[in-house]
Amino acid sequence: MSRLRNPWGRPRFLALITGGYILWSVVPVLLAIAFAFNNGRSRTTWQGFSFRWFTGETGSVLHDPALRDALTHTLLLAVICVAVATPLGVALALGLQRWRGRGSGTVNSLMLLPLVTPEIVMGVALLLLFLQVFGGIGLGTDAQAIGQITFTLSYVVVIVRGRLVSIGPEFEEAAADLGAPRRDQFFRVLLPLLAPAIVASAAVAFATSIDDFVVTQYLSSDASTTTVSMLLYSSARGAPTPALNAIATVNLMITLLSLVFAYLVYRRFAGRDEATSIATMEV
């Protein structure tokens, strides 16, 4: 066995597998994106490059009412979700971080439950809840927003708590030591230090909301509460045009951009690895 492998050499075999996998997973997405720019009605044969399915006069994302409404409804839900889940999640994270004693451990694990619960279970449960218990709210935009907030909240809590743990109690103690009352300890010290985590968690919440299908679908009422993912699902088997690819592309870009944004903001202040784990948390 004198010709043992060179231990300093590149692991070619592993590189091959990795490269192969990346190709396998990315090619379909790239194909779908490519056909969003097809200058024809086909989603399988290339007929030249154009933006007609994005901005064209008829049937485009911009001018087809169904597509446009789906996109605006998706964004509306995402904005509500971020606006509610972020402050609520920050407050919860702070509370859970401080709360030491009986029950805190249980609550901490329960916070993670929405992250591991199969979405379909969550969707059915929420549907029953809105039909049986909160009949007053009913299905539709409100229910969809509440449903999305229910699980995006967990992401916010997990991200902000992670940051709280790495910040530690010392900065607040220093502020107190220098004469700052509780209010100022929070606003002058803790909040600025948490800012990157809060921005990152808002971006993740935004992306999660836009990508969600199951819960949003269950809690929808009529056509006006259709989101992009619901639209893609329902018309994929109908008479699809490249406009669907176009709206999917728009959706994907928004999600990607918000996650890249979260990664960049977080990396500036915390470690690269921590940032990567946050940006990939949702994907």
Partner 1 sequence: MEGEIRLEELCKKFDDFVAVDGIDIDMPPGEFFTLLGPSGCGKTTTLRMIAGFERPTSGRILLDGSDVARVPPHQRNVNTVFQSYALFPHLDVAKNVAFGLKYHKLSKEERAKRVHEALELVDMTDFARRKADQLSGGQQQRVALARALVLRPRVLLLDEPLGALDAQLRKNLQVELKALQAELGITFIFVTHDQSEALTMSDRVAVMNQGRVEQAASPKAVYEEPDTVFVADFLGVSNLLSGTATGADDGACAVQIGDRTLRARQGATDARGDVKVMIRPERIGVEPHANSGEERMPGMVERSVFLGSAYEVHVRVLGGELLKAMVANDGSVAETALESGAAVCLHLPPDALRVLTMSGSEEQAEQQGET
Q: Is 34 helix (H, G, I), strand (E, B) or coil?
A: helix
Beta-ladder partners of 49? 38
Number of neighbours of residue 22 by Cβ within 10 angstroms: 10
In the complex with partner 1, which residue's Cβ is closer, 127 or 176? 176
User: Of 243, 247, 244, 248, which Cα lies nearest the Cα of 53?
Assistant: 243
Number of shown-chain residues binding partner 1 (CB under 8 A): 17
Distance linking the first and last C-alpha atoms of the chain: 45
**Closest approach of partner 1 to the CB of residue 178, in Å:** 3
Using rule CB under 8 A, residue 271 touches partner 1: no
Task: Select from 5-13, 22-30, 103-111, 167-175 the region that touches partner 1 (CB under 8 A).
Answer: 167-175
Closer Cβ to partner 1, 98 or 188, answer by number: 188
Q: Transcribe 218-257 into DSSP letters.
A: HT--SGGG--HHHHHHHHTTSS--HHHHHHHHHHHHHHHH
Q: Is 171 in the site for partner 1 (CB under 8 A)?
A: yes
Q: Say whether residue 90 binds partner 1 (CB under 8 A).
A: no
Judged by beta carbon, residue 124 or residue 264, the one nearer partner 1 is 264
Q: Among 194, 199, 212, which Cα is nearest to 282's?
A: 212
Nearer to partner 1, 5 or 102 (CB): 102
* Residue list 173-192, contact with partner 1 (CB under 8 A): 173-181, 184-185, 188-189, 192
State which residue, 98 or 115, has the beta carbon closest to partner 1.
98
Q: Is 165 in the site for partner 1 (CB under 8 A)?
A: no
Helix or strand holding residue 195 (H, E): helix 191-211
* Distance from C-alpha of 148 to C-alpha of 153, rounded to nearest angstrom: 8
Binding site for partner 1 (CB under 8 A): 170-171, 173-181, 184-185, 188-189, 192-193
